[in-house]
Amino acid sequence: MTETVLVVGASGYLGRSVVWRLREAADRPGRPDRRVLGTYCSEPGPTAEVAFDFWTDDAGELVDAHGVDTVVFAAAVEYGGDADTGESGVDSTFVERAERFAAGCSGARVVYVSSASVFDGTGSRYVESDPRSPRDDYGRRLVAFEDAIDARCDDAATVRTSYLFGFSTGRLDRRLARTRDHLDRGESVAYFADMYKSPVLVTDAAETVATLVDGDATGVVHVPTPRVSVYDFHCEAMAALGYGPEPIERDSIPEDMDVAPDTSLASERFDSLVGSEPSAVGEGLRSQVDAGESK
């Protein structure tokens, strides 16, 4: 019997790597038959061939039409909605769409990709059991989606990452691509030395998702990597790509800027459920370059 995995957001940065990883695993000798389908919102591509719009389409119809066994939600939903907000501060259209999506997937296994933005960043090295405390609309939407999945999907795992980076199907993430472009033009660029993340190589995040697709773990799982300042992140990444980091300058968070100073993650569960060792920034990028993934 063929298992069908549907990846929502398969044309996006993380989604492309998730589809590639799942299809690569399905081709290995001795693996059960698996079909991996990816969705797109506007344009199809090599990893995305099924049209799906989160705001207008019914996920349940898609699950039924393709006989889906597992749904991976790797899309970034940052637009749409209306001004009618409830007590949570999240627009009502988004809450309704999240609940409808979760209800449509309630009979399947679900792996939902969230992020450390569910925390306000006033702590450090957050673990899965820490209370969520979103400080902006994006974080509140993530919390609303997590709650919808938790309430309606019995067989569901939620993955949280802090800062995705690296090459996904040959394309470098926008943050590092921007820094690389500045250095290519001989320009300096500044980043906060007092803002901290736990950067996760995109292929490591995809590996985590694939492991949870194959397993039966439920609940929240963080992908823990070393706590690194945004400044050091860009310096280490550029050095791994063969650039001297001298044009990268230190900056500090302005006192009047409302941003999360530290969304670094730790985990109480990752080692027992996933087992792989997430890569550090420089090591991860060098491994991708050496493997030809940057081509």
User: Hey, where are the domains in the chain?
Assistant: 3-291
Note the pLDDT tens digit of each residue in 242-268. 999 999 999 999 999 999 999 999 999
- In tens digits, the chain (295 residues) has pLDDT values of 789 999 999 999 999 999 999 998 767 766 778 999 999 998 899 999 999 999 999 999 999 999 999 999 999 876 544 445 555 556 888 999 999 999 999 999 999 999 999 999 999 999 999 999 999 989 999 999 999 999 999 999 999 999 999 999 999 999 999 999 999 999 999 999 999 999 999 999 999 999 999 999 999 999 999 999 999 999 999 999 999 999 999 999 999 999 999 999 999 999 999 988 899 999 999 999 998 887 6
Nearest one of 172, 160, 158 to 13, comparing CA atoms: 172
Specify whether the CB–CB gap between 7 and 69 falls below 8 A.
no
pLDDT tens digits, 100-146? 999 999 999 999 999 999 999 999 999 999 999 999 989 999 999 99
CATH architecture, range 3-291: 3-Layer(aba) Sandwich (3.40)
Longest dimension (CA), the chain: 58
271: alpha, beta or left? (left if phi > 0; alpha if psi -120 to 50): alpha
Tell which residue, 282, 212, 220, 216, has the closest CA to residue 245.
282
Q: Tell me how many helices (H) and strands (E) the chain has.
A: 9, 15
The CA distance from 77 to 91, in Å, is: 13
Phi, psi for 13 (deg, rounded to 5): -60, -55
Chain segment 173-184, per-residue pLDDT in tens: 999 999 999 999
